[in-house]
């Protein structure tokens, strides 16, 4: 069926018919209806068939002109009015009183085949009241990076938003240069951020905090019985703080850097959200900065756990009115909740690092063993991912050479001394089945990550109209822990002239 303007309209016979809106039902002032801005000659560049299947969208529907029009922002999802939400946030440590969905619009709330509920959001679908004078568009370059990385993170086991589709168009967008527009359909259980609560707190609109918190608890923390537990807000915030700590531990142990860790980019569900400037480290540097706009290194790799904790303190400040009618008691409760972050991070990080080292138990001196290895990697700028992947080839036999990982190291004397201590540690817990240990280690130490130079190659080819490399990367990164012998070259270090690619906030 076509509308009067000739744009195909999505049929409601899809099994992915929208559910009764819940976030949308909050209404003003949490969000406001905004129509998407159509693209010129949109084309489907890639789609996530597995996620589409989960949403009840079959292959034929995914290729239909009607769904293309909807995912491009050229026609609405039947029965759902697109809208943009308002929030605030601390950006590089400075509070900004109003941000919001400046180029993102929620277009549907759908159910999955296993009973979950997901929200669909178009990024790059046009200006909103929160665009702050910008055009509301996204460019192909950054859209490809988000499309690839959100799915790569999902395959790595990291909590993350996901992407259903990547749409390209002929429309021109000016950033540092003139580029073409694109739209990604982002999918998440929720897009609520820390900054949503900051907006209402700092504006003195405290009466709007509880309805938003109750929505989040009812939808995503139902075990807390939002309207029955008097301590539900404290219990909920405690879980948010611990989820955030666990996410930081996951990032650190994969060498992932999120270049814009502002509070408006922190998910209330502990998901990785907003893939702007980001990067997986190649050469390991404790103070690695992935965003060249971050001149002071506020969001450097080594700073991420502390920034996660600081962001949690901002969330707790913004929810003080929910914790108690007494300001003093609210602060006391918030401090107790905040104190849960450090042990949650420490325990999660130590467990993940131990798994990467192939250790079944976590013992008192393991942190020193790990830090010695990281110091050796840092000193030689050794490749983070390759070094840990090759570590599984180390044998407890003192006469067996440490092939693979030793070739990544420059300070051989220090490494050989470390290997001796490492073998002693493995033997101490009777962890001498090298084959079983290697299998465990290879399930947590990926072989393939989205390196910047790989993403750049896919982007450059896509800008010329060739999507083949994009498709190859999608398939590769869906199985990051597998050997994939035919794709061995994707696990290599970047060529010398591509080892220092930088990304910025421009997208």
The answer to whether residue 507 is domain-embedded is: no
Average pLDDT of the residues in 326-332:
97
pLDDT digits (tens, 9 = 90+) for 391-402: 999 999 888 877
Structural domain contains residue 364: no
Instruction: Return the pLDDT at 295.
Output: 85
**200 and 319 both lie in a single domain:** yes
109 inside domain = yes
* Across 12-16, 335-339, 343-347, 397-401, least confident range: 12-16
Residue that finishes a domain, picked among 313, 348, 383: 348
Cα separation, 209 vs 362, whole angstroms: 41
Give the residue from 316, 348, 380 where a domain finishes.
348
Q: Are residues 71 and 108 in the same domain?
A: yes
Residues 96 and 223 in one domain: no
pLDDT > 60? residue 17 = no
Residue 429 pLDDT level (bands cut at 50, 70, 90) = confident
In degrees and rounded to multiples of 5, residue 205 shows phi and psi of -95, 55
Question: Which residues touch 55 (CB under 8 Å, ≥6 apart)?
Answer: 16, 110, 112, 113, 118, 164, 187
Query: Once rounded to an integer, what is the mean pLDDT over residues 63-90?
Result: 94
Domain assignment present for residue 500? The answer is no
- Better-scored residue on pLDDT, 263 or 409: 263
Please say if the pLDDT value at position 363 is more than 80.
yes
Taking the C-alpha atoms of residue 185 and residue 123, their distance in angstroms, rounded to an integer, is: 6
Q: How is the chain split among helix, strand and coil, in percent rounded to 5?
A: 45, 15, 40
Residues 204 and 184 grouped into a single domain: no
295 or 8: which leads in pLDDT: 295
How many structural domains compose the chain?
A: 2
Residue 144, pLDDT above cutoff 70: yes
- Beta strand pairing status for 104-111 and 117-123? antiparallel
Q: Single out the catalytic residue among 54, 101, 264, 383.
A: 264
Last residue of a domain, one of 302, 330, 348: 348
Over 80: is that where the pLDDT of 507 sits?
Answer: no
Backbone dihedral region for residue 225 (phi beyond 0: left; psi -120 to 50: alpha; all else: beta): left
CA atoms within 13 A on the CB side of 49: 7
Q: What is the pLDDT of residues 89-116, one digit of tens each?
A: 999 999 999 999 999 999 999 988 888 8
How far, in Å, CA of 187 to CA of 361, rounded?
37
Residues 247 and 312 in one domain: yes
Q: Is 99 within the bounds of a domain?
A: yes
Q: Would you place residue 176 in the very low, low, confident or very high pLDDT band (cuts 50, 70, 90)?
A: confident
200 domain residue, yes or no: yes
Same domain, 179 and 40: yes
| 223 and 243 both lie in a single domain | yes
Position 504 pLDDT exceeds 90: no
Query: Could you tell me if residue 11 is inside a domain?
Result: no
Is residue 13 predicted with pLDDT exceeding 90?
no
Average pLDDT, the chain: 92
Q: Is residue 383 among the annotated active site residues? A: no
Quick one: 131 and 187 in the same domain? Answer: yes
Specify whether 182 is located in the same domain as 244. no
**Residue 175 and residue 270 in one domain:** no
Q: Greatest CA separation found in the chain? A: 78
* φ and ψ at residue 72, rounded to 5 degrees: -90, -10
Q: Which residue bears the tokens 């259903």?
A: 164
pLDDT for residue 404? 78
| Least trusted range by pLDDT, from 10-24, 247-261, 312-326, 433-447 | 10-24
Residue 317 in domain: yes
- Structural domain boundaries enclosing 155: 24-191
Average of pLDDT values for 441-461? 97
Q: How far apart are CA 491 and CA 96, in angstroms?
A: 41
What whole-number distance in Å separates Cα of residue 442 and Cα of residue 444? 5
Q: Are residues 169 and 148 in the same domain?
A: yes
Q: pTM for the full model?
A: 0.94
Confidence band of 300 (pLDDT split at 50, 70, 90): very high
> Do 173 and 315 belong to one domain?
no
- Helix/strand/coil for 174: strand
pLDDT of residue 5: 43
């Amino acid at each position: 069926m076509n509308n009067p303007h000739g744009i195909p309209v999505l049929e409601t016979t899809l099994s992915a018919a929208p559910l009764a809106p819940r976030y949308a039902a909050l209404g003003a002032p949490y969000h406001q209806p905004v129509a998407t801005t159509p693209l010129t000659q949109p084309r489907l560049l890639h789609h996530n068939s597995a996620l589409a299947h989960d949403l009840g969208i079959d292959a034929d529907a995914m290729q239909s002109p009607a769904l293309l029009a909807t995912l491009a922002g050229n026609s609405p999802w039947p029965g759902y009015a697109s809208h943009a939400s308002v929030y605030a946030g601390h950006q590089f440590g400075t509070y900004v009183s109003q941000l919001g969905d400046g180029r993102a619009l929620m277009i549907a709330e759908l159910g999955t085949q296993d009973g979950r509920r997901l929200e669909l959001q178009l990024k790059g679908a046009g200006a909103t009241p929160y665009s702050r004078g910008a055009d509301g568009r996204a460019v192909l370059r950054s859209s490809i990076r988000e499309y690839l990385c959100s799915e790569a993170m999902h395959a790595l086991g990291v909590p993350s938003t996901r992407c259903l589709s990547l749409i390209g168009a002929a429309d021109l967008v000016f950033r540092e240069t003139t580029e073409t527009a694109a739209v990604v359909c982002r999918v998440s259980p929720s897009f609520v951020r820390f900054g949503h609560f900051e907006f209402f707190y700092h504006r003195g609109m405290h009466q709007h905090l509880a309805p938003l918190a109750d929505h989040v608890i009812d939808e995503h923390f139902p075990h807390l019985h939002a309207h029955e537990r008097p301590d539900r807000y404290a219990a909920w915030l405690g879980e948010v703080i611990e989820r955030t700590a666990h996410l930081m531990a996951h990032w650190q142990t994969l060498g992932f850097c999120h270049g814009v860790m502002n509070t408006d980019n922190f998910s209330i569900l502990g998901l990785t959200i907003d893939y702007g400037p980001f990067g997986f480290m190649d050469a390991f540097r404790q103070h690695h900065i992935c965003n060249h706009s971050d001149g002071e290194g506020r969001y450097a790799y080594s700073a991420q756990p502390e920034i996660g904790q600081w962001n949690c303190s901002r969330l707790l400040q913004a929810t003080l009115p929910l914790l108690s009618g007494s300001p003093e008691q609210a602060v006391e409760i918030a401090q107790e909740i905040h104190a849960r972050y450090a042990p949650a991070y420490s325990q999660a990080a130590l467990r993940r690092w131990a798994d990467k080292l192939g250790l079944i138990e976590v013992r008192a001196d393991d942190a020193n063993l790990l830090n010695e290895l990281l110091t050796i990697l840092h000193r030689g700028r050794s490749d983070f991912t390759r070094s840990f992947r090759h570590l599984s080839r180390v044998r407890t036999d003192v006469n067996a050479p440490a092939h693979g990982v030793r070739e990544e190291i420059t300070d051989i004397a220090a490494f050989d001394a470390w290997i001796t201590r490492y073998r002693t540690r493995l033997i101490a817990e009777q962890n001498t089945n090298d084959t079983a240990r290697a299998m465990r280690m290879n399930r947590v130490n990926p072989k393939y990550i989205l390196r910047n130079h790989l993403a750049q190659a896919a982007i450059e080819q896509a800008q010329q109209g060739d999507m083949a490399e994009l498709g190859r990367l999608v398939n590769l990164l869906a199985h990051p822990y597998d050997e994939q012998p035919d794709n061995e070259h994707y696990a290599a270090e970047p060529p010398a002239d591509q080892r220092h690619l930088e990304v910025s906030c421009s997208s």
